[in-house]
Amino acid sequence: MQEKIAQLRGAFKDALSAAKDAPALEALRVEYLGKKGSVAALMQNLRSLAGEEKKAAGQVINELKTGVEQAIKAAGEALAEAELKAQIAAAKPYDVSLPVRTPHGSYHPITLVQREVERIFVTMGFTVEEYPEVVDDYHCFEALNIPKHHPARDMQDTYYLSNGQLLKTHTSAAQNSIMRKYGAPLRAIFPGRCFRNESIDACHENTFFQMEGIMIDRDISISNLIYFMKTMLSEVFQRDVKVRLRPGFFPFVEPGFELDISCLICGGEGCPSCKDSGWLELCPCGMIHPRVLEMGGIDTNEYTGFAFGLGLTRLAMMRYGIKDIRDFNSGSLKALAQFEG
């Protein structure tokens, strides 16, 4: 019996070193450890032995079985590792420090225009401020001289929240806080997302961006306002743009104006983007109402100021020739990928 076991051990060693791949190893496993395999056959032979001899032979067969199992497992692992190494060696060399060739995305056209306008105003001494999108009634309306039940509230169909707060309808909502934060003199712009319950068409969205600006100092007049508006527009468009100023009513400015820009989509002929008028309402503005300055803690005997509410989304439409405002929020990657920046 011992001799048979020794022979089997020797034969297994030879067969194992000849097995060069996973199927060969599996065949070896079945041959030695399968139900009808060599080790099982040895176990059958144990029946012809008795006593100590049977016990000793049984122990040796078990050792053989464990040895065969471990050797096949180790050979399998060695084979898998060798295969992986061969695959790595065959793979093309890959340098992770190389620059990425395909673009990973691009800035949204509104972001591009916002940055451009910010850059222009920063060079003129303005700071850029941030303000939350959820605000209270006082800041969005009352501090802007729009008391409760004032008809001017109808112009901004508002999303009210159940806790009494609301989604900012215009960036003017930040005026009071910024005046109180910095006092006069003051030059600041504050871009932000605004929300109104609008009927949506080619030039109206329920979610759009504005860029508010205020300048408060001694002897500030409408001439300063016109100068800053013209400078900003000619920088953004890199050419002379036709603008018109007409009277506009906003309770927080006096006098108030509407600054319209000649539609750059149709060249002033009239199209859906400008509601067939040839002009696009872009930037209401005016001299800050003394009551608004007072509510902001500014001494009106000493200081005056102007404010404007630039329609950033519409500016982006004109800047890039985007005909329909709905494209901005469409999430169409094909449309957005055109804007590199």
Q: Which is nearer to ligand FA5, 87 or 199 (CB)?
A: 199
Residue 305 binds ligand FA5, judged by CB under 6 A: no
> Residue 141 Cβ, how far from ligand FA5 at the closest point, in Å?
11
Q: How far is the CB of 206 from ligand FA5 (least distance, A)?
A: 7
Total Cβ atoms within 10 A of residue 264: 19
**What residues contact 128, with CB distance under 8 A and at least 6 apart?**
118, 121, 122, 188, 189, 190, 191
In eight-state DSSP terms, residue 131 is: -
Distance between CA atoms of residues 95 and 317, nearest Å = 41
**Residue 317 makes contact with ligand FA5 by CB under 6 A:** no
Among 39, 117, 282, 287, contact with ligand FA5 (rule: CB under 6 A): 282
Q: Which distant-in-sequence residues (6+ apart) come within 8 Å of 340 by Cβ?
A: 103, 106, 107
Two structure tokens written together for 160: 């009210």
Tell which one of 190, 308, 328, 339 touches ligand FA5 (CB under 6 A).
308
- What single string gives the DSSP state of each residue in 52-92? HHHHHHHHHHHHHHHHHHHHHHHHHHHHHHHHHHHHHHHSP
Does position 284 interact with ligand FA5 (CB under 6 A)? The reply is yes
Region of 15-23, 124-132, 296-304, 305-313 interacting with ligand FA5 (CB under 6 A): 305-313
Among 31, 142, 217, 281, indicate the residue that binds ligand FA5 (CB under 6 A): 281
How far is 40 from 21, CA to CA, in rounded Å?
Answer: 24
Cβ at position 164, least distance to ligand FA5 in Å: 21
| Span of 43-51, 135-143, 232-240, 280-288 interacting with ligand FA5 by CB under 6 A | 280-288
Q: Which is nearer to ligand FA5, 59 or 330 (CB)?
A: 330
Residue 311 within binding range of ligand FA5, rule CB under 6 A: yes
Question: Should residue 205 be labelled a site residue for ligand FA5 when binding is judged by CB under 6 A?
Answer: yes
* Shortest distance in whole angstroms from residue 248 CB to ligand FA5: 7
The string of DSSP codes covering 153-200 is GGGS---B-TTS-EE-SSGGGGHHHHHHHH-SSEEEEEEEEEE--PPP
Kindly tell me which of 65 and 314 has the beta carbon lying closer to ligand FA5: 314
Compare residues 38 and 156 and give the one whose CB is closer to ligand FA5: 156
Applying CB under 6 A, does 313 fall inside the site for ligand FA5?
A: yes
Please give the Cα distance from 188 to 178 (Å, whole number).
8
Work out the angle between the directed axes of helices 38-45 and 22-33 (0-180°, nearest 10).
10
* Interaction of residue 135 with ligand FA5, rule CB under 6 A: no
Report, in angstroms and rounded to the nearest whole number, the Rg of the chain calculated over CA atoms: 40
- Which residues, listed in sequence order, are joined to residue 311 by a DSSP beta bridge? 210
Rule CB under 6 A: which of 212-271 touch ligand FA5? 212, 250, 253, 256
DSSP-derived secondary structure letter, 214? E
- Asked if 314 is part of the footprint of ligand FA5 (rule: CB under 6 A), the reply reads yes
Q: Please say which residue, 109 or 284, places its beta carbon nearer to ligand FA5.
A: 284
> How many residues contact ligand FA5, by CB under 6 A?
24
Instruction: Kindly give the residue spans of alpha helices, DSSP state H, lying in the chain.
Output: 2-18, 22-33, 38-45, 51-90, 109-123, 137-140, 175-182, 222-237, 290-295, 312-320, 333-336
- Contacting positions for ligand FA5 (CB under 6 A): 170, 172, 196, 198, 204-205, 208, 210, 212, 250, 253, 256, 281-282, 284-286, 307-309, 311, 313-314, 325
